[in-house]
Structure 1
Amino acid sequence: MSRVYLVRHASHDRVHSVLCGRMPGVELSEEGRQEARALARRLLGCGAEAVVSSPRERARETASLVAEELGLPFELAPDLDDIDFGDWTGRSFVDLAEDPLWATWNAARSTVRPPGGESMDEAGARALGLLRELAGTSVVVSHCDVIRAVLLQILGLPIDSYDRIAVDPASLSILDLWPGGGRVAGLNERPGAG
């Protein structure tokens, strides 16, 4: 069995206003750096042997702060990247609210994909495939909807249930994985949240 501490990157200045996806240059805010440090302190003594991160700046920064505290290097894994939101990348949520396909995406993610992008199921499958290859105990830094998709697959729930699971910035969910199965051992813990 392997244990995965599945972390959503910490906060950035656009976290509630822009669909960043794979947009370059999105870095942690000062609040985000504080969140990542609190998360790193929480993970001390967890037995992690590896820190693995999405290649996005906000995830790399989070992973770097955690890895430094744990005394581990970190590696990048493209399979942990955010969903490819295609033409929606970088658009504000206010702007997206006017797009009928956005409303359909949020109502039926099992049957809709962003224009020019990938489905939530595809993103979850690539990330879970990577997680199943990890041995021992790992800290893995990724993105909200990718983490939601992984959790839903482990729980055997349909992707359209995505909004029933909260995955806050700098949150920690814990997975135990074994060949052919797994379980959610912790969900959306927010170290340092008041």
Structure 2
Amino acid sequence: MRLYIWRHPKPIAVEGICIGQTDVGVDRRKLKRLAHRIERFVRRHQLPKVIWVSPLQRSLKVGKILAQRGFACHVAPELAEIDFGEWDGRPWEQIAKQEIDDWCNNFAHFAPDNGESLQQLFDRVKEWLNKVSTESDHTPILAVGHAGWINAAKILAAGHEVPKIAADWPASVAYRECSYLTLSGI
């Protein structure tokens, strides 16, 4: 299965904030630009007009714009960014250094209070990828997602395990950038 996944546009006023499932806004022009980019890509490559999005507005609103342009838009909670729990929406500087140290010392399995661990994110990503690959009948999947989710999917597609140390976590894909993954037997 082939997955084309674009990272959502840059949210408004999130510098220095821990953003996972916090539902932050995005400038409407940036949402339209990404929708237009996806629409051109689909037309150029003669792909089905079907898009998968997360329920977070920075992804969902791109899907809604595409739906107005004739796309079938599917909302998948599994596509949401990692849940940082009590950290979500807080400035990084307000999160206790000891908590961040605990995360770094148990990178794959630590979860902030009421949040999810990296291992749980990977399990969610893997489950969704397996589900859509089974249902896709070899049709490419198009999606709008989030940096952490995309990194997890790339790591899984490469056949690697959840990183055990923070230094092994890759840099985030750029806003509105498309990642192409070939998935088989994840």
Taking structure 1 as the reference length, the TM-score comes to 0.77
Equivalent of 2:172 in 143, 146, 166: 166
How do residues 55-74 of structure 1 correspond to structure 2 at under 5 angstroms? 55-68=55-68, 71-74=70-73
Return the structure number with greater strand share.
Answer: 1
2-structure distance, mates of 1:100, 1:29: 35
1:22 aligns with 2:21: yes
SS in 1 for 2:169: helix
Tell me what 1:157 maps to: 160
The RMSD of aligned alpha carbons is 2.4
What is residue 76 of structure 2 aligned with on the other side? 77
Gaps of at least 5 residues in structure 1 are: 182-194
**Conserved? CA contact 1:11–1:35, under 8 Å:** no
In the superposition, relative to structure 1, how do residues 104 and 42 fare at CA in structure 2: closer, same or farther (>3 Å)?
A: farther
- Map Cα deviations across residues 100-139 of structure 1 (whole Å, 9 max, x no partner): 2124424642132222211112112212321222211121
Structure 2 residues not aligned, in runs of 5+: none
Counterpart residue identity of residue 142, structure 1: G
Superimposed CA distance per residue, residues 25-78 of structure 1 (whole angstroms, 9 cap, x where no aligned partner): x12125632541453234433313521111011110122334555x31201011
Letter in 1 for 2:120: E
User: C-alpha distance in 2, partners of 1:103/1:148?
Assistant: 22
2:102, 2:30 → 1: CA distance?
A: 31
Partners of 1:103 and 1:67 lie apart in 2 by 43
Matched pairs, number: 176
Any conservation in 1 of the 2:6–2:178 contact (CA below 8 Å)?
Answer: yes
The answer (yes or no) to whether the contact 2:52–2:142 under 8 Å persists in 1 is yes
Q: Is this contact kept in 1: 2:55–2:77, CA < 8 A?
A: yes
Cα displacement (A) at 1:145: 0.8
TM-score, with structure 2 as normaliser: 0.80
User: 1:88/1:158 Cα in 2 relative to 1: closer, same or farther (>3 Å)?
Assistant: same
| Bigger mean CA deviation after superposition, 28-37 or 82-91 | 28-37
Match of 1:36 in 2: 34
Partners of 1:171 and 1:15 in 2: CA distance: 19
- Measured against aligned partners, the alpha-carbon deviations of 1:138-167 in whole angstroms (never above 9, x if no partner) come to 211221111111211221334336532432
Aligned residues of 1:148 and 1:162 also touching (Cα < 8 A): no
Give distance in 2, aligned partners of 1:66 and 1:99: 42
* In structure 1, C-alpha distance between the alignment counterparts of 2:180 and 2:25, rounded to whole Å: 25
Identity of aligned residues (%): 23
Quick one: structure 1 residues 124 and 31, their matched pair in 2 at CA, closer, same or farther if it must change by over 3 Å? farther
Distance in 1 of aligned mates of 2:76 and 2:32: 24
